[in-house]
Every structure is written in C-alpha cells, then in structure tokens.
Chain A
C-alpha cells in the first residue's frame, strides 16, 4: 500500500470523526459541538456534566443513532458499489444493479400493506432477489457478467411492476412512496446495532478479497491464468455485497447515488487498488451520507426531506462536473 494511500485513509478517518461530532451537534435545538463531544465522551469516561439532561437525551437517544445509522448506511452502499464496479467492470454498477433495490422495495411494500415488520421483510426480499438473479445466471457452473446484469434488470423490472401494483391498490400509498425515496427518520439504537453487525462483517469479508479483485480488473481470463478462482471470487463478493446492501436498504429505504458516485470519486483520488480504494470508499460513503442527512433534516424548519432526494440533488451535479472535468474516460 502506497504511503500516499495510507495518509488519505488517515485523513478520512479524522474527517469521519469530525463529521460524527459536528453533525450530532446540528439540529433544531442548538447544542455546541464542544458540549456534544463532552456528552459523547461522558458515555465512556467520567466528565462533570455542564449540560442539561434534555440535551443529553437529544444527543444520545435521537441524534447520535441517526448520525451513526447514516454513517453505516453510507459506508455499506459505497463499499458495495465499489465491489460491484470492480467485479462487473462496469462503470454503471452500483449496489442495486442486479435488482436488490427492487426486491427490498417489494418487501417493504408488502410489509406496509400487511402490517408486518418493514425492516425484516425488506431484508429478506433483497436477499431472495439476489439469490434468484444469481441462479438464473448460472450457466454450466459459471456466471457470465453480462447474463448477471441482464437477469438483474429483468428480475428487477418484474418486481418493480408488482411494487407499482401494490402502490396503486394501497389505501395509503404515501408510506410506501416515502420509504422508496430513502430516509433515516426511523433511526434508533436497535437498528444501529443490527446494521453495525451486518455491515461490519460484510465489509471486512469484502476487504479480504481486495487483492483478488485487483487481479480480476485485468479481465476474467487473465485473472484465471494468474491463478484466481474467478467464479469463487464472484460468488463471494456478490454474497457479501448483497448482505451489506440489504442491511442498509432495510433500515433506510432506497438511497440512490451514494453507491455509484462515491467509489468513482475515490477511484479518481486514490486509484484502482482495492486495498486503498475499499477503505477510502467506505469512509467517504459514511461521511457523505452523514452530511447529506443533516442537510435533509435541517434545511426546512417544519419538515424533513428524504435523504435519498438530497443525495441525488447534490451528487448528480457534482458527478457531472467531474465527468466534464476529466476529458478522458472516467472509468479508466
């Protein structure tokens, strides 16, 4: 790993910590970042309280879980997007590309209709979707990338049609529609804990395949000549990308763009070596979603915007700027 890469990771870690503290401080009730930091530290060390108990409740029970959940979801989506782009060698790849978002959306819609737990159904449907898409794509023990992408689009469209039907027939469709826009307003400590466990496991497992993914960027056949068991890597990377994406989507709805642009931006900054690109994407994804979510919940006095709307509204123009600035192929 290059020295340059290590220092970028170090800077991103510092930025993430700063983002967590400052964004926990920001909200309708103003609490200074210093007091916020003290309240946070007081969870682990003894600090003489200089704050009110209502301040403490706002910070620890409302804002902190929200910021942490945002960070986890952003990290998961960005890491999964990075893995999918590397694995499929397709610049359009994001965590949702093989139909997972459609599966999760259908699960959530069903849950709203039947009054079942949304998080669980969305998670299960997302996993079932990737299982179906994968099995459709297997030809003679191999999974050709093109088939995988097309099967993902086909299955995704089918599931999206069912979701549309449910929305059309639903008594109160706005619940489903809000969920589809993506938001973190239901954040609580239980969600943070479950997501933290799943996302951490998935991300660590993906990191273990950084080197193999690098070699696979040379092309599947070349990688095979260099001794990579290509189909094994595909399976493994798909499973753990699916796991963290499903974990993220099930608590936050469908937040677009994070998983697409953050890995691209980091690839421009740190290069294609996944041993640096992965952690850089993870950290930047977390920072980006924490910032956009704070914007989403504070920009209007009376109402919170869905963060999915904000990520695309900010992300897309910035991404277009990068596309135009780099005259050569962005993915190269």
Chain B
C-alpha cells in the first residue's frame, strides 16, 4: 500500500529527514512519535508531496507519487492538520463536501453529496450539518475535519497531532473514530504526543529523533526505557495495563519538594 524508501528531506541546508524507510499495509494504524522538531510533520508533508524530498521514493499502491498530480494524490491521501481554523461562515455540510474536491470539476454531483452524507452519518456529526463552522467547539471542529478527510475516500489518512488540543473524552472519541476507519482497510499514520494513547491505538510505532528513525515496531518493542531516554532525554517506567493488554508509560518524576527551589 505505502512504501517509503531512503527518504531524505532538507529545508535549504538543514537536513530534516535522513534515510527514512517505512512501509504500511492495509488497515495498519501507525503512530509517529518523537520530540518537537524531530521531523514528524515533515514526514507527513513529504507523503503528500507538499515538500519535495532531496532523494528517496514514496510509492502508493505501486505508483511513485512523483508521477501523481495534486488531484490524484488527494484521492489517495487525506490529511488532518495540526491547527485548523476556518474564519468563513460555511456550514458543516459545505466543509465536509469540500473533501470531494479532487473528484469535483465545478459543482458537486449527487454521488458526492451522498458520500458526504454517509460520512457525516458514520462520524456522528449529522446533528451539526447546518451549523456554521465558525461556531463549533474544538472537539466538534476536529470531528468535522476528520469527516472531510474521510469524504476524500482516501487509502491513506494522515493525522498531525489530531487530539493534542482536545480534552480527554474528545481525544478518545476522535481516536476511536480513526481506529474504526483503519479497521476497514485504510492506512492511518498519526503523529502523536501522548505515548500511552499511541501504545493503545497503534499497531506499529515509529520513533524519530533529529530526523532519523531510531526505532520502529510494535508499541512494546519501541516504547522501552532506553529508546525513550535516547529520544526524549527522559527516564520512564514501562508498566503493563492488564485491562487493555497494552503497555503504559510513566515518566519518572522527582518528588515536588525537590524541584520547588
């Protein structure tokens, strides 16, 4: 489905990604973790061809993305960006329908409208349909943006910290929604900051530091005290969550009275 090989990306003189290799098969949920500035967002931008790599290849379903136009890429890859703010009074329905853009020449067809309606139904935002996008809460807005991405009917869904500004309930609802899409065959690649949510949701985790991939594998393989110490410079303890059968990561903190000074 997706194969990234020897990918190098630079901003001018600075190399931001070095020799990244990553492959994903249908239905896989891949988490990308790493400290700020480690190249996570850059990797997503390279996959959508917004950034041109200096070398390396990205292949989607057998086609090198170099040979794809922006429309064709948008039919295959949808993006939910980090910070979204829309200041124009479009209705939720209008915004979701914009996900059909790669298929629309000048005006939407009945099929486009049906697909948008279907996605709104499945993402539980039907009740927001006629509300103005400018009047939604953060959680509602994020749901609409995800619905718009799903309306693109992509094979790959990229999410850049989809939940970092949301409350805990919304974080979990959004990730459940995304997980549901991945179980239907979509590849999900999500940049995540919460290591525990990553451990719970991801089939595979890819750990970046300074543009290099320092570890890739199952959450248990990647989220080890050594790896996290190397990447984040933070000592952690790894525990097992028996209920979810996933691992649980705790930073080792000093008692507060020792840092109060």
Contact = CB atoms under 8 A, between A and B. Distances in A.
Contacts of A228: 70, 101
A37 interface: no
Contact of A226 (B86, B87, B88, B102): B102
Nearest to A229: B70
B50 A275 contact: no
Interface residues of B, number: 30
B78 A332 contact: no
B74 interface: yes
A227 B154 CA distance: 12
Interface in B95-154: 95, 98-99, 101-102, 104, 106-107, 134, 152
Interface in A201-232: 208, 210-211, 214-215, 217-218, 221-222, 224-229
A258 B69 CA distance: 38
Contacts, number: 67
A225 B88 contact: no
Given A222-B81, A225-B48, A228-B101, A272 B73 contact: no
Given A271-B89, A273-B94, A221 B70 contact: no
Contacts of A226: 74, 98-99, 101-102, 152
Contact of B90 (A222, A227, A273): A273
A221 B50 contact: yes
A222 B50 contact: no
Nearest to B76: A227
Interface string A71-91: 000000000000000000000
Interface in B7-43: none
Given A226-B152, A275-B107, A217 B88 contact: yes
Nearest to B72: A227
A329 interface: yes
A208 B81 CA distance: 28
Most buried by B among A218, A224, A229, A273: A218
A211 B87 contact: no
Nearest to A220: B50
A331 B71 CA distance: 29
A331 B48 CA distance: 30
Given A214-B98, A218-B98, A271-B90, A225 B75 contact: no
B87 A225 contact: no
Contacts of B89: 271-272, 332
A1 B108 CA distance: 10
Contacts of B79: 222, 225
B73 A227 contact: yes
Contact of A329 (B75, B84, B87, B101): B87
Most buried by A among B70, B73, B95: B70
B27 to A, nearest CB: 22
Contact of B87 (A1, A210, A331): A331
User: Binding site of A, secondary structure by majority: helix, strand, loop or mixed?
Assistant: loop
Contact of A227 (B75, B87, B88, B107): B75
Interface string B59-86: 0000000000111111101110100101
Nearest to A232: B70
Contact of A221 (B81, B87, B94, B106): B81
A275 B200 CA distance: 45
A36 to B, nearest CB: 38
A309 B224 CA distance: 73
Q: How large is the interface on A (under 10, 10 to 19, 20 to 34, 35 or more residues)?
A: 20 to 34
Interface string A257-277: 000000000000001110100
Contacts of B74: 225-227
A225 B81 contact: yes
B88 to A, nearest CB: 4
Nearest to A223: B101
A229 B68 CA distance: 12
B50 A225 contact: yes
A53 to B, nearest CB: 48
A332 B50 contact: no
A320 B107 CA distance: 35
B69 to A, nearest CB: 8
B86 A211 contact: no
B78 A225 contact: yes
Contact of B70 (A211, A227, A273): A227
B87 A332 contact: yes
A187 B221 CA distance: 79
A86 B79 CA distance: 23
Contacts of A210: 106
Most buried by A among B48, B78, B99, B101: B101
Nearest to B103: A227
B102 A227 contact: yes
Contacts of B81: 221-222, 225
A211 B107 CA distance: 7
Contacts of B104: 211
A215 B107 contact: no
A50 B240 CA distance: 98
A208 B105 CA distance: 9
- Give the 7 A-B residue pairs with the shortest CB-CB distance, closest first: A227-B74, A227-B102, A225-B79, A272-B88, A227-B71, A226-B101, A332-B87
20 contacts: A208-B106, A211-B104, A211-B107, A214-B90, A214-B98, A217-B86, A218-B95, A221-B50, A222-B79, A224-B70, A225-B81, A226-B98, A226-B99, A227-B71, A227-B72, A227-B102, A228-B101, A271-B89, A272-B90, A332-B88
